[in-house]
Structure 1
Amino acid sequence: MSLRVGSPVAGRVVALSAVPDPVFSQAMVGPGVAVEPVRSRSDVVSPVDGTVVTLHPHAFVVATADGAAVLVHLGIDTVKRKGDGFELHVVKGEEVRAGQRIVTWDPAEVEAAGFAPICPVIALDASADVLGDVALDVDVAANDALFDWSR
């Protein structure tokens, strides 16, 4: 079985190694890709159908019915903003659909505040060899496919 993981934001897909944070760039939390977001106020959408199991203004995890969990992190070190500039549209425990709005933010504003707005999208508790059809160095719209996760 394969799980399609969609982009939470519009932008340019880059390798995790491009993320200016060793936890992500060295895939310590799991494999995936990152999206360099378009610099305008926009909605961040769920990458998969599932349940919001972790929810912070700057990051969230959606777990599918069969237990696949995808982490979306909005910018690097943005936890230091304490939610400033992020507007949540769901609550923890809510069922969501791929492409459904989770957060609204402004990557340009995040960048102006001194933070890298890049968005890692991570397959938690997975190994790199289970990701296929990985989009790299391409422009995507929100909810376009980033990779397939063989389950």
Structure 2
Amino acid sequence: MALTVLAPVSGTVVAMADVPDPVFAEGMVGPGIAVDPILDGAPSIVVAPISGVVAALHPHAFVVTDAGRRGVLVHLGIDTVQLGGEGFSVHVSTGDTVRAGDHLITWSPADVAAGGRSPLVPVVVLETPPDRLDTLAAPGTRVAAEAAPGTPLLRVT
């Protein structure tokens, strides 16, 4: 059964190869795409890209797995682990069941950028061969996270 991955944040789609971190850019974590979030200074709500269970959770990153045990990693900015959770408000816990579009985290991509870090948001489908992933939103496309149901980014076949 195909899995559609929705945009976890609003912004502009960026090719994973353009993410300024070789772990993501070279696909070491897995295939995916990134979103350059809106930097208007307002807090940004991060939503679940798929329905499932919050399998891993940090203030700057999370994984949601679906019923078929397929996981989607969302990483909020690059090198944001160094912030120690500062600037991130987490609204769920590990083990929670979520629906695509549920609010999971609030953060300020503008604050991340002002601190000298990239606010790009990699969205990675874990343990999936690249040939099983279709890109639904090409680089340069504007996407919305909070529109119901959210802009589709990727499809896993």
Identify whether the pair has TM-score above 0.5, normalized to the shorter chain: yes
Matches within 5 A, 1:4-83: 4-39=4-39, 40-83=42-85
Separation in 2, partners of 1:111, 1:41: 13
Question: Which amino acid in the other structure matches residue 130 of structure 1?
Answer: R
Would you say 1:139 and 2:142 are equivalent positions?
yes
Separation in 2, partners of 1:124, 1:63: 9
Residue 130 of structure 1 is matched in structure 2 by: 132
Question: Which amino acid in the other structure matches residue 138 of structure 1?
Answer: T
What are the Cα deviations for residues 38-94 of structure 1, in whole angstroms up to 9, with x where unaligned? Answer: 113110000000000000000000000111100000000000000000000000000
Residue 133 of structure 1, CA deviation? 4.0
Superposed CA RMSD in Å reads: 0.7
Question: Which amino acid in the other structure matches residue 149 of structure 1?
Answer: V
% of aligned pairs identical?
51
Residue 115 of structure 2 is matched in structure 1 by: 113
Unaligned runs of 5+ in 1: none
Secondary structure in 2 aligned to 1:9? coil
Separation in 1, partners of 2:46, 2:57: 13
Secondary structure in 2 aligned to 1:93? coil
Question: Which amino acid in the other structure matches residue 65 of structure 2?
Answer: A
Residue 132 of structure 1, CA deviation? 1.4
Separation in 1, partners of 2:38, 2:135: 23
Residue 135 of structure 1, CA deviation? 1.1
Give the alignment's TM-score, normalised by structure 1.
Answer: 0.97
> What is the aligned length?
150
Residue 127 of structure 1, CA deviation? 1.0
Give the alignment's TM-score, normalised by structure 2.
Answer: 0.94
